[in-house]
Amino acid sequence: MKSQGAGAAAPRTGNQRKSAGRAAGYWSEVWRRYRKSRLGVLALLMVVFLGLVAAGAPFIAGTRPIACRYQGNWYFPCLYYYNQRWENPVLIREGFRRSPYPQRLREKDPRSIAIWPLFYADPYRRVEEGEWPGRPRDTGPSPPRLRNPFGTDDLGRDVLARMVHGTSIALLVGFVAMGIAALIGLVVGGLAGYFGGWVDVVLSRLIELVMAVPPIILILALIAILERPTIWHTMAVIGCTRWESIARYARGEFLRLKETEFITAARALGASAPRIMFRHMLPNALAPVVVALTFGIAGAILIESGLSFLGLGGDPSAPSWGRILNEGFPSLGGDSPQWWLILFPGLGIFTAVLVYNLVGDTFQEASDPRLRGSSR
C-alpha cells in the first residue's frame, strides 16, 4: 500500500477532511485493479459514452435549436425533448409548434441566431421539404444515405435520431429498474442474512419463488392487466421481478459479515442493530451487489428491448430500440428487407448489453476478496 506522504504534511485543521479522501481505501484499491484490464476500461468508457449520448440526445439529433436568439431573447427549445412542458410558452405563442423552427425563425425574425444539433432530424416525425434550406423531404423507408446515416423507417423518420433518443430509454430502464431491484434485494437479502433463523427461511423461499418465475412471463402478465402501460410500468415490473440475484448476494454477504470480528467488536462497543446493518455491514457487502447490479442493468435493457420488440413496451411513439427492430421485422421475409432497421438498433442493444456485462465482469474480478493483495 502506498503511504500518503503528501497527506501527512497537510496542516491539521481545515484541510483534514479533504486529505482524508486521499488515503487509499478499499474502493481505490478496487479501481487500481480495475484499471489493469484494458477491455474493462474500454467498456467503462463505452458506458460513459452511452450515458453522454442518452443525456445529450437533443444536442446530437433534433429539429429544435439547442439555443436560439429570437427577437432579442435567448431560448433553449431543445429542452422540449426532455419534457414537452419545458418549451418556452413565448415560443408556443409565436406558433413554433405549427411550423418547424428553421423556417419560422427566418420568417419572424431574420436577424435571429440559432445553434443547431449535429443532425437535423427528428425522432418523432419526418423532415419535410424546405424545412431546412436545400433539404428535400425525407421519404421512407430508405436505406442509409448522406442525410440519414442510419436510414429512415416506414414513416420517413430518421433512424439515427430515433436511436439517439432511444438511448435514454434503454439506460433509464436499466438504472431505474435496477434501482428498484437494489432496494428490494438489499432489504430482503440483508434482513435474511442479518437475522437468520426463520426470517432467513421465509425470505429465502421468497427469493426462490421469484427466481423460479420466468420474468418475461410475469412481466407479460402484469402488463396485460394494465390499461395503458408506459415505460415506467415496464421499469417498475422489471425492478420488482429481477431483484433475486441482488438479494442472494446481499444475503450471502450479510451472513458472512455477521460472523466477522469487527461486527462483534462494533457490537461490543455498543452499536445498535440498524447501525451495524447500515454503517458497518452494508458498505462491506456492496461490491458483489454492484456486480449483480451491473449484470442486472444489462438484463433489464435486454428485457425492455424484448418487450418493445413484441410491441408491449408502452408508448408506441417512444423511440425505443426494441420498437425500431419491431418496425423492421415484417420486411425481413420480403423482397426488399429493411436491414438498417434491424442492424443499427440490434448493434445498439448488443453494445449496451455487452459493455455493461464487461464492466460487471471486470469489477467482479477487481473486487474479489480472494485476489485482494495479489499484484495481478
Residue 335 cell numbers, joined: 423482397
Total residues at the site for other proteins (CB under 8 A)?
Answer: 32
* Residue in 171, 160, 140 with CA at minimum distance from that of residue 47: 171
DSSP 147-214: TBTT-B-TT--BHHHHHHHHHHHHHHHHHHHHHHHHHHHHHHHHHHHHH-HHHHHHHHHHHHHHHHS-
DSSP for 43-81, written as a single string: HHHHHHHHHHHHHTHHHHEESS-SEEEETTEEE-GGGGG
Grid cell for residue 88: 418556452
Minimum CB distance to other proteins, residue 112 (Å): 54
From the CB of 17, what's the least distance to other proteins, in Å? 9
**Is the CB of 159 or the CB of 285 nearer to other proteins?**
285
- Separation between Cα atoms, residue 376 and residue 373, nearest integer Å: 9
Q: Which is nearer to other proteins, 193 or 328 (CB)?
A: 193
Part of the chain binding other proteins (CB under 8 A), chosen from 3-11, 48-56, 307-315, 343-351:
3-11
Site for other proteins in 182-241 (CB under 8 A): 196-197
* 64 close to 42: Cβ distance less than 8 angstroms: no
Pairing of strands 119-120, 73-75: unpaired
- Pick from 39, 271, 298, 350 the residue near other proteins by CB under 8 A: 271
Give the Cα-Cα-Cα angle 183, 186, 191 (nearest 5 degrees): 125
- Contacting other proteins (CB under 8 A), which of 8, 146, 224, 225? 8
Least separation in angstroms between residue 29's CB and other proteins is: 8
| Of the candidate residues 124, 267, 343, 365, the single one contacting other proteins (CB under 8 A) | 267
Q: What CA–CA distance (Å, rounded) separates 312 from 302?
A: 13
Distance CA 141, CA 339 (A): 11
**Nearer to other proteins (CB atom), residue 25 or residue 136:** 25
Binders of other proteins among residues 23 to 62 (CB under 8 A) are 23-26
Minimum gap (Å) between residue 4 Cβ and other proteins:
7
Q: Which is nearer to other proteins, 64 or 280 (CB)?
A: 280
Q: Which of 157, 162, 280, 323 binds other proteins (CB under 8 A)?
A: 280
Can you give the binding site for other proteins, defined by CB under 8 A? 1, 3-4, 7-8, 12, 16, 19-20, 23-26, 196-197, 260-262, 264-272, 275, 279-280, 283-284
